Amino acid sequence: MRTLGLTLLSLAAALAAGAGLMAAVGIDPVTAYRELGLGGLGTPRNVAETLLRFCPLALCALAVAVGFRASFFTIGVEGQFYFGALGTALAALAFPGLPPLILIPAAMAAGMAAGAVWGLLAGWLKVRFGVNEVIGTLMLNYIAVLFVQYLLRGPIRAPGSEVQFTPLIPAAAMLPRVVPWARLSWGIAVPFLAGYAGFRAQAFGANPLAARYAGISGSRSVLVVTAVSGALAGLAGALVVQGEFHRLQAGIGADYGYTAIPIALVGQTNPAGTLVTAFLFAAMDVGATMMQLKAAVPLPMVRLLEGLMILFVVGGRMVLSAGLGRRVAAHLRPVSPPAVPPAAPQP
């Protein structure tokens, strides 16, 4: 409860700081925040668009949180997302004659497998060669994105098209929509059903010594964590292909993998907190368009608000940790034994 209260207080402080900055440059913060909220949640269609963006954001943020909870600081979710989208598109296009009950989960599984393999590569580099996971996963992002862009320029581009995208996947591979008037598909249920870190990732991240006693080696845990994280990111790519664009195209990632990092941090790598934060960020992204049109607020201001949220939440958590640390240290401070009076001289 203390952590939840601190998070809410930090978010309120971030919004107040953002309001002060908007007022300083001549923007009415009340109007801006009202249009931001209405743009993201004001109508059923806006809510559907927010949920559509929430789905990949939440899965990518959970992928980041899995790694962070296990002390594997991954930056590679963007590349794993692209490989997941690629695997799903290729699988769906390769088997157009399969019925929906087979093709939908098969294409989804192909995306998860592709993301897991790309995530596993980062874990193997760390285990085998000691490559720092931040550098390794970041470099793998560029390789994955550029490789997909190369394929879209020629080998898998739709015949006769000047635009970088594949042919439409078969209708049997598309996720059905929740309502006919919105793009939201039933993939919205997936983030809530996605498994989190599991015993192995959590045990090793919280206490490496206890994990080793449980028979979980450090190297094996790194490989398991990177595979799980990559599978979640690949699943996000699969859902965007099957439920939103119905094809693989350039720019499909929309920086989901990078945006997921601050979401996981604000959510404190907790599953519930991460999902709530992902919904908040999704609503802000969708509402930013309305805020620009009706309150004349530039898009960078929304990014500034997101940055303030990260700064205040993470900073507040550090302050809380420092305060608790001082209290613990005070309790553990050694106490000098009471002075013993000298014994009376013996006759």
Residue 334 lies in a domain: no
Residue 196 lies in a domain: yes
pLDDT confidence of residue 321 = 66
Residue 293 lies in a domain: no
- Percent of the chain clearing pLDDT 90 (strictly above): 49
Name the 3-class secondary structure at 260: helix
Residue 177 lies in a domain: yes
Which residues lie below 8 Å from residue 54, measured CB to CB, with a gap of 6+? Answer: 188, 191, 278, 279, 282
Q: Region 78-87: what's the mean pLDDT?
A: 97
pLDDT confidence of residue 197 = 55
pLDDT confidence of residue 200 = 44
The chain-wide mean pLDDT, for the chain, equals 85
Q: Is the pLDDT of residue 326 over 70?
A: no
Q: Nearest to residue 309, comparing CAs of 6, 13, 36?
A: 13
Confidence tier at 347 by pLDDT (50, 70, 90): low
Residues belonging to the chain: 347
Q: Region 178-207: what's the mean pLDDT?
A: 70
Domain that holds residue 89: 55-266
Q: Is the pLDDT of residue 111 over 60?
A: yes
Q: Region 296-309: what's the mean pLDDT?
A: 83
Any idea which of 67-81, 174-188, 323-337 has the lowest mean pLDDT? 323-337
pLDDT confidence of residue 301 = 83
pLDDT confidence of residue 213 = 46
Q: Region 218-232: what's the mean pLDDT?
A: 88
Q: What is the pLDDT of residues 126-176, one digit of tens each?
A: 999 999 999 999 999 999 999 999 999 988 999 888 889 999 999 999 999
Residue 258 lies in a domain: yes
Confidence tier at 215 by pLDDT (50, 70, 90): low
Q: Nearest to residue 302, comparing CAs of 6, 58, 40, 10?
A: 40
Q: Region 251-257: what's the mean pLDDT?
A: 89
What distance in Å separates the CA atoms of residue 292 and residue 295, rounded to the nearest whole number?
Answer: 6
Q: What is the pLDDT of residues 256-271, one digit of tens each?
A: 999 999 899 888 888 8
Confidence tier at 241 by pLDDT (50, 70, 90): very high
pLDDT confidence of residue 295 = 80
Q: How many domains does the chain have?
A: 1
pLDDT confidence of residue 201 = 44
Quote the tokens at residue 301.
């201001």
pLDDT confidence of residue 61 = 94
Residue 82 lies in a domain: yes
List helix spans (H) across the chain: 2-24, 29-41, 44-69, 77-94, 100-129, 133-153, 190-193, 198-206, 208-213, 218-240, 256-266, 271-295, 299-332
Residue 8 lies in a domain: no
Any idea which of 15-24, 106-115, 234-243, 283-292 has the lowest mean pLDDT? 283-292
Cα torsion 319, 320, 323, 324: sign: negative
pLDDT confidence of residue 211 = 52
pTM, 2 dp:
0.85
pLDDT confidence of residue 344 = 59
Confidence tier at 116 by pLDDT (50, 70, 90): very high
Q: Is the pLDDT of residue 69 over 70?
A: yes
Q: Is the pLDDT of residue 339 over 80?
A: no
Residue 4 lies in a domain: no
